[in-house]
Structure 1
Amino acid sequence: MTLKDELFQGIEAVLFDLDGTLVDSMWMWEDIDREYLGRFGIELPGDLQDLIQGMSFSETAVYFKERFLIPHSLEDIKAEWNRMAWDKYSNEVPLKEGVLPFLKKLKEKGILMGIATSNSKELVELVITKLGVRDYFDSIRTSCEVAKGKPSPDIYLLVAEDLGAKSANCLVFEDIIQGIQAGKNAGMKVCSVYDRNSEEDDDKKKELSDYYIHTYLELIEDE
C-alpha cells in the first residue's frame, strides 16, 4: 500500500486533532455536559456545543463557570470532567476507521506526527495509550498550553515547532470548522475528516479545507 502522492507532496509533518479526528468520541461530550449541568438544575442549552467548539479545556471551564455561575473552582470543574469522561475513554472510544494503517504508513515514510487537541492532557494520554498508538506521535500538545484555543493557530504552530517543521510543510487533519480554521490560520494544508456529530457542517468543512475524507482508508492505495 502507498500513500496518495498528491496529498503528501512536500509534507514533512502530519498534525492531528484528537476527538472526532483520530478517535470517535464527540458523541459523548454532549451527554457529559447535560449530566454535569443537570447537577446544578440547569438544562443543556441548545446553542452550547456550537459555542464551545474549539475552546481549550481551560477556556471551556471558564465559559461554564461564568455563563452558568458554577460555584466550583476551575480546577475542580476540569477534574470532574476528567472523572466523568475517564471510563468512556477507557472502554467505549475506538480509533476512527483506517487510523492505524494510516499511522503505520506515515511512520514508514518517515513523516513526523503530532497531536494538537482541545482536550485535557490526562484524557489524551489515556486514550492513545489504551488504543496502542501513543508511540506514533512525536509531539502531543493541548490548547491549555497556548494563549488561545482554536480557531487561533497557536496550538498547531506549537506542535510544528516541536517537530521542527515549517507550516508550509505541515498537513492538518480536523473534524470541526474551528479546527480547520486553526490549521489554515497557521498556514498549513488541511484535510477535513467526516464525523457524524458535525455532518451538518460538511459543506462548510469542504469549502474551508484543501481536502476532505470520509475515512483514512481513502488515503492508502493498493500497490
Structure 2
Amino acid sequence: MIKNIKACIFDLDGTLVDSMWMWPDIDREYLGRFGIEYDDNLKNEIDGISFHETAVYFKNKFGISDSVEKICKDWEDMAYDKYKYEVKEKPGCKKFLEHLRSKGIRMGIATSNNRSMVDAVLESLNMKDFFEVITTSDEVKRGKPAPDVYLTTAKLLNVEPKNCLVFEDVVAGIISGKSAGMKVCAIEDDFTKEVRQKKKELSDYYIVDYSELI
C-alpha cells in the first residue's frame, strides 16, 4: 500500500481518533437549547464540511439568532473537555504512525475540525509530534468534499498529490482525497457503518484498524 508513497495525510475524527460518537449528542443538546428536535439525518447533511461551514448551516437551517462565531464558541466549549479527557486513538493508530516514521514517510493532518480541539486531543494522546503539517478546512477556501484541504496539506509537505496516501472515515472525505488526485484508504468507524459499502467502492483500500498495516 505504501509503495511509492512519500506522505500520508490523515483526517482526524473517526480516522486518527475515536470521536465521532460525541457529535450527535452535542448537536442534540445544542439544538435542545432552542427547543429544536434533533434529526438523525443531520449528520449526513453536514458530513465533512468545516466547523465554520457547519455553524453557518445550523444558523440558516434552524433560524438561530446567535452569530456564527457564537455558535462555534458554544460547540467548542461543549466538546473541548471530551477531546482533552475522553477521546481515544483508533486501534493500532500510534503504532502505525511510528511505523511510518521509521520508513521516513512524512505525515500531515487535513481535518474539518476546529484547531483548538485538534491541538487538545493530539497533545492529550501524545500524537502531535508525528505530524509536520496540520490543516483545517477553515483555513482553505472550500471544505470537504472539495480537495482544497488535502491539496494544501500536500503542498505544505512539499509532496506531489500522486505520492500521497489519504486515510479517511467518511464519504465526503474519501471524495475529497480522490478529487485531490491521491490514493485513499478508508477506515472502519461505527459512525459510518451504514455507508460501509459505499466507502469501499469509493476508496482504493479499506481497513478495520491500523494493525492490519504493520
Aligned residue for 2:30? Answer: 36
Residue 210 (structure 2) pairs with residue 193 (structure 1): no
Aligned residue for 2:156? Answer: 162
Secondary structure at 2:108's aligned position in 1?
A: strand
What 5-or-longer segments of structure 1 have no aligned partner? Answer: 1-6
| Identical aligned residues as a percent | 57
Residue 92 of structure 1 deviates from its aligned partner by 1.1
Residue 193 (structure 2) pairs with residue 212 (structure 1): no
Give the AA of the match of 1:66.
N
- Among residues 25, 33, 37, which one is paired with 2:19 in the alignment? 25
With normalisation by structure 2, the TM-score equals 0.99
The separation in 1 between residues aligned to 2:213 and 2:20, in whole angstroms, is: 23
The separation in 2 between residues aligned to 1:18 and 1:203, in whole angstroms, is: 21
After superposition, the C-alpha distances for 1:111-155 in whole angstroms (9 at most, x for unaligned) are 100000000000000000110000000000100011111110000
The separation in 1 between residues aligned to 2:73 and 2:53, in whole angstroms, is: 14
The separation in 1 between residues aligned to 2:161 and 2:212, in whole angstroms, is: 24
Matched pairs, number: 214
Give the CA RMSD over aligned residues: 0.5
Aligned residue for 1:103? Answer: 97
Aligned residue for 2:135? Answer: 141
Residue 208 of structure 1 deviates from its aligned partner by 0.4
- Among residues 169, 173, 180, which one is paired with 1:179 in the alignment? 173
Aligned residue for 1:11? Answer: 5
Residue 23 of structure 1 deviates from its aligned partner by 0.2
Aligned residue for 1:118? Answer: 112
Give the AA of the match of 1:68.
F
After superposition, the C-alpha distances for 1:37-85 in whole angstroms (9 at most, x for unaligned) are 0000000123211000011001000000001111111111101101000
The separation in 1 between residues aligned to 2:18 and 2:188, in whole angstroms, is: 11
With normalisation by structure 1, the TM-score equals 0.95
Aligned residue for 2:124? Answer: 130
What 5-or-longer segments of structure 2 have no aligned partner? Answer: none
The separation in 2 between residues aligned to 1:98 and 1:52, in whole angstroms, is: 28
The separation in 1 between residues aligned to 2:117 and 2:173, in whole angstroms, is: 19
Give the AA of the match of 1:176.
V
Secondary structure at 2:206's aligned position in 1?
A: strand
